Amino acid sequence: MIATTHGLDSITVGALAAVTGVSKSGILTVFGNREAIQVSAVDAARDIYRETVLKAAYEAAPGVPRLQALMGAWVRYLEDGVFPGGCFIAATAAEYGRRTGSVGEAVRQLKRDWLTLLETELRVAGSPDPAGDAFVVDALLMAGNTRRELFSDDGELDRARVLALAVLDRLPGAAR
């Protein structure tokens, strides 16, 4: 999806018409306007993320095992090049984080869902500060994505995963 390499703003009626071979009026008949196309792109990315990252993680037991699986699946999702510009959430959060409107809200909700998942699993794993630990894990993974994109080095993803997993080692009584 070009949103990770060129931004959600690059998704236009004309660009979508050119890629799909459908006329601009045909595109507008389906979506109504450009904003609806962009929200649909966020929704499509959410579905892809569920299938490529979350599905594998939910096969693991809640808490530490699920967090370990989640971080591993997240690294694989990036290494596999699911989106050509890295993590969709990272790319769109930087672009739309402060904007108003339905596209900005869809992007914020996608990020909220991710943070809520981390907080929930960290709470189950015994974290005394699930929101703080989720912040750290998210920050490390997003930094790994950024460094990977900047330096074209998948090793940055592994570094981020190892550092994020170290957060779990600090949890009181977490069974591994």
What is the spatial distance between Cα 90 and Cα 94, in angstroms, rounded to a whole number?
Answer: 6
Q: Which domain holds residue 129?
A: 43-169
Question: Is residue 111 situated within a structural domain?
Answer: yes
Which burial class, exposed, middle or buried, applies to 53 when counting CB atoms under 10 A from its CB (0-12, 13-18, 19+)? buried
Lowest mean pLDDT among 84-93, 109-118, 122-131: 84-93
What is the spatial distance between Cα 68 and Cα 98, in angstroms, rounded to a whole number?
Answer: 31
Question: Is residue 9 situated within a structural domain?
Answer: no
CATH of the domain at 117: 1.10.357.10
Percent of the chain with pLDDT over 90: 78
Tally of structural domains, the chain: 1
Residue among 133, 31, 47, 29 nearest 88 (CA): 47
Indicate the DSSP class of residue 53. Answer: I
Indicate the DSSP class of residue 13. Answer: H
The C-alpha R_g of the chain, in whole angstroms, comes to: 17
Question: Is residue 3 situated within a structural domain?
Answer: no
- Residues in CB range of 122: below 8 A, 6 or more apart: 67, 130, 133, 134, 137, 171
Question: Is residue 59 situated within a structural domain?
Answer: yes
Longest CA span, the chain: 59
Question: Is residue 21 situated within a structural domain?
Answer: no
pTM for the whole structure: 0.90
Question: Is residue 126 situated within a structural domain?
Answer: yes
Question: Is residue 7 situated within a structural domain?
Answer: no
User: What's the rounded mean pLDDT across residues 113-130?
Assistant: 97
| Residue 137 structure tokens | 């894990």
Q: How many CA atoms lie within 13 A of 146 on its CB side?
A: 10
User: What's the rounded mean pLDDT across residues 66-74?
Assistant: 95
Using one digit for the tens of pLDDT, what is the confidence trace for 9-59?
888 888 888 888 999 999 899 999 999 999 999 999 999 999 999 998 999
Residue type present at position 131? A
